[in-house]
């Protein structure tokens, strides 16, 4: 329906729009602030071409490898007689609880001379590094984004499409590749976009693996070389890549229509019996569980045990203080982000027209902007407009809110689809104001969606590293920051308690989100 946006919805939407666009504008101004000769030297450096090539190669490779992992696992969990299905689903979701830098830390600490594998088995397995190390870690801990989308699509696909293909003489494999896989295109693009944006914006894994990309170079230039102009240009070049990714996703989704072929209620897809392929399927599941869960968690426990006295009061006080800071910041950001996402989701689902679309897209711009680039933009803006706000907790919460608000919109919009507008219209007929109808009728129906949104943001903030490193107050310690600091200095035993706590809290939140979504 086309209606005028009420002020109580328009105000938070405009604040989001300004909060995303104004800092990015200052980033552009800072990048253009050098002399013409210096600009030419910065833009046309041969290193930029190398960084672009490395970044694109890693992004494309991670998309390929996560597909090779997520698609078979999703098919096994959704369509085959491999049991128990709950275990397969957990395997596809739980790696999401382990941040990439924790996974990188675990694999680095497990390999090499004196590593966990060498000490426990006597085998000397080289530690991962470079392109292949970054590819391994990013694949293992980002494939759940793709698994969740593919698993849902496989469970809900209309089996009449596959039945029609079989009646036309297609074999089972031909039906899978010509009918089932094309039907998964929207799910793959949705999950692949998240993985692509995550890979383009990641700096922790590539830094630990010593693989130079745009994000790693931005962090190095800003924190070590103190070259603010060059770091701003690198951030803009990275933004061009993320913009290209968004454009490609939108272009590939154009003209995709996946309506059902039969008017009746859809049947459940038929179960594929694996037969002699069952041992191969279990081998795939076992290897994936070993490398994505057992190796990282086992390595963390090994280094925790090697600590001279991991239960001394000083170590516990440091861990508890970091845990308290991390949980407090995550809880505060979850509340503010969910509160901001609610009016944006209402605008996107209840209103049509140009401005509602622009406002909704602006929210996703904050998420599509790589965290390092977004942090730099906020720094440049705040130092110019409000210096006292720099390196304060309010600025950090603002950054979390603007960056993760897009994550919170999805579950709320799903709830709004189920909460029919006719209930609000009935309340209006009975004399209730528009804001009153929203508060008394719609909000009670959105409870589950709001909880899922808050949990998603809580988990993301808990794992977030770039925004925390660049924007947090001096002396503000979190689990993520301590894992990064100790791992960067190869102090694996000191990093172990923080990594284990981060993985444990993440696992609890992941299981809660999965349970709520099933309900």
Q: For each of the chain's 519 residues, which pLDDT tens digit applies?
A: 446 777 777 788 888 888 888 888 877 887 777 777 777 777 778 888 899 899 999 999 999 999 999 999 999 998 888 888 888 988 998 998 899 999 998 999 888 877 888 888 878 888 889 999 999 999 999 999 899 888 888 877 767 666 676 677 676 777 777 677 777 887 888 888 889 888 988 888 999 999 999 888 888 887 776 667 788 888 888 888 888 887 887 777 665 555 454 544 456 677 878 889 899 999 999 999 999 999 999 988 888 877 655 554 555 667 888 999 999 999 999 999 998 888 888 787 777 777 777 776 777 778 878 888 888 888 888 988 889 998 899 999 999 999 898 888 877 776 666 555 666 666 666 666 666 666 666 666 677 778 888 888 998 999 999 899 889 998 888 999 989 988 888 788 888 889 999 999 988 888 887 776 665
Q: Whose CA is closest to 245, among 293, 190, 322?
A: 190
Contact, 417 vs 347, CB < 8 A?
Answer: no
Contact, 127 vs 111, CB < 8 A?
Answer: yes
Contact, 100 vs 209, CB < 8 A?
Answer: no
Sorted by sequence, the CB contacts under 8 Å of residue 422 that are 6+ apart come out as: none
Sorted by sequence, the CB contacts under 8 Å of residue 288 that are 6+ apart come out as: 69, 73, 91
Cis? peptide before 84, omega within 30° of 0:
yes
**Which tokens hold the place of 66?**
């996560």
**Tally of CB atoms within 10 A around 248:** 14
What residue ranges in 371-473 does DSSP mark as E strands?
A: none
pTM of the predicted protein model: 0.83
Contact, 441 vs 376, CB < 8 A?
Answer: no
**Tally of CB atoms within 10 A around 49:** 10
Which pLDDT does position 426 carry in this prediction? 67
Residue 224 DSSP label = I
Q: SS3 for 272?
A: strand
Report the alpha-carbon distance of residue 24 to residue 174 in Å, rounded.
Answer: 48
Report the alpha-carbon distance of residue 284 to residue 77 in Å, rounded.
Answer: 13
> CB burial class (10 A; 0-12, 13-18, 19+) of residue 114?
exposed
Hey, what CATH class is 45-260 in? Answer: mainly alpha
For domain 1-34+309-518, which architecture applies?
Answer: Orthogonal Bundle (1.10)
Q: SS3 for 41?
A: helix
Report the alpha-carbon distance of residue 370 to residue 334 in Å, rounded.
Answer: 20
Residue 432 DSSP label = -
Sorted by sequence, the CB contacts under 8 Å of residue 55 that are 6+ apart come out as: 200, 213, 214, 215, 238, 241
Secondary structure (DSSP) of 49-112: HHHHHHHHHHHHHHHHHHHHHHHHHHHHHHHB--S-HHHHHHHHHGGGGS-HHHHHHHHHHHSS
Contact, 232 vs 25, CB < 8 A?
Answer: no
Which pLDDT does position 58 carry in this prediction? 95
Give the number of C-alpha atoms closer than 13 A to the C-alpha of residue 445, restricted to the C-beta side. 16
Q: Whose CA is closest to 403, among 438, 366, 436?
A: 366
Which pLDDT does position 85 carry in this prediction? 84
Contact, 417 vs 449, CB < 8 A?
Answer: no
Which pLDDT does position 194 carry in this prediction? 84
Domain positions in the chain are 1-34+309-518, 45-260
Judge if 1-34+309-518 and 45-260 fold alike in CATH terms: yes
């Amino acid at each position: 329906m086309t209606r005028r946006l009420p002020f109580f919805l328009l105000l938070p939407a405009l604040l989001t729009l300004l909060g995303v666009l104004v800092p990015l504008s200052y980033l552009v101004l800072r990048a253009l602030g050098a002399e013409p000769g210096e600009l030419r030297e910065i833009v046309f450096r041969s290193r930029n071409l190398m960084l672009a090539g490395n970044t694109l190669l890693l992004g494309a490779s991670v998309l390929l490898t996560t597909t090779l992992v997520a698609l078979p696992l999703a098919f096994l969990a959704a369509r085959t007689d491999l049991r128990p299905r709950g275990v397969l689903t957990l395997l596809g979701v739980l790696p999401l609880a382990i941040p990439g830098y924790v996974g990188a830390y675990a694999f680095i600490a497990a390999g090499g001379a004196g590593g966990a594998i060498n000490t426990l088995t006597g085998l000397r397995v080289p530690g991962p590094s470079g392109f292949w190390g970054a590819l391994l870690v990013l694949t293992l801990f980002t494939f759940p984004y793709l698994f969740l989308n593919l698993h849902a699509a496989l469970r809900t696909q209309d089996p009449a499409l596959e039945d029609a293909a079989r009646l036309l003489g297609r074999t089972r494999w031909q039906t899978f590749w010509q009918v089932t896989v094309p039907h998964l295109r929207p799910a793959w693009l949705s999950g692949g976009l998240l993985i692509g944006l995550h890979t383009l914006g990641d700096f922790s894994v590539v830094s630990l693996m010593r693989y130079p990309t745009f994000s790693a170079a931005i962090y190095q230039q800003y924190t070590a070389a103190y070259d603010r102009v060059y770091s701003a240009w690198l951030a803009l070049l990275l933004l061009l890549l993320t913009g290209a990714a968004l454009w490609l996703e939108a272009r590939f989704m154009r003209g995709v229509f996946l309506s059902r072929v039969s008017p009746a209620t859809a049947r459940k897809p038929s179960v594929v019996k694996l037969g002699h392929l069952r041992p191969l399927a279990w081998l795939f599941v076992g290897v994936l569980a070993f490398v994505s869960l057992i190796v990282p968690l086992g390595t963390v426990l090994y280094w925790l045990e090697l600590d001279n006295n991991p239960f001394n009061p000083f170590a516990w006080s440091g861990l508890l203080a970091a845990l308290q800071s991390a949980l407090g910041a995550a809880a505060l950001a979850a509340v503010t982000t969910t509160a901001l996402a609610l009016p944006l989701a209402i605008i996107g689902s209840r209103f049509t027209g140009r401005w509602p679309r622009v406002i909704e897209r602006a929210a996703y711009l904050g998420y599509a902007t790589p965290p390092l680039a977004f942090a730099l933009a906020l720094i440049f803006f705040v130092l110019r407009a409000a210096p006292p706000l720099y390196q304060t907790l309010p600025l950090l919460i603002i950054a979390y809110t603007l960056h993760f608000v897009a994550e919170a919109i999805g579950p709320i919009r799903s709830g709004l689809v189920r909460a029919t507008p006719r209930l609000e219209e009935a309340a209006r007929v009975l004399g209730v104001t528009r804001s009153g109808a929203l508060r008394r009728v719609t909000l009670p129906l959105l409870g589950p969606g709001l909880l899922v949104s808050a949990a998603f943001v809580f988990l993301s903030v808990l794992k977030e590293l770039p925004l925390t490193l660049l924007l947090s107050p001096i002396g503000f310690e979190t689990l993520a920051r301590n894992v990064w600091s100790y791992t960067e200095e190869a102090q694996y035993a000191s990093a172990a308690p923080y990594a284990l706590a981060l993985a444990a809290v993440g696992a609890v939140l992941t299981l809660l989100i999965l349970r709520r979504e099933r309900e």
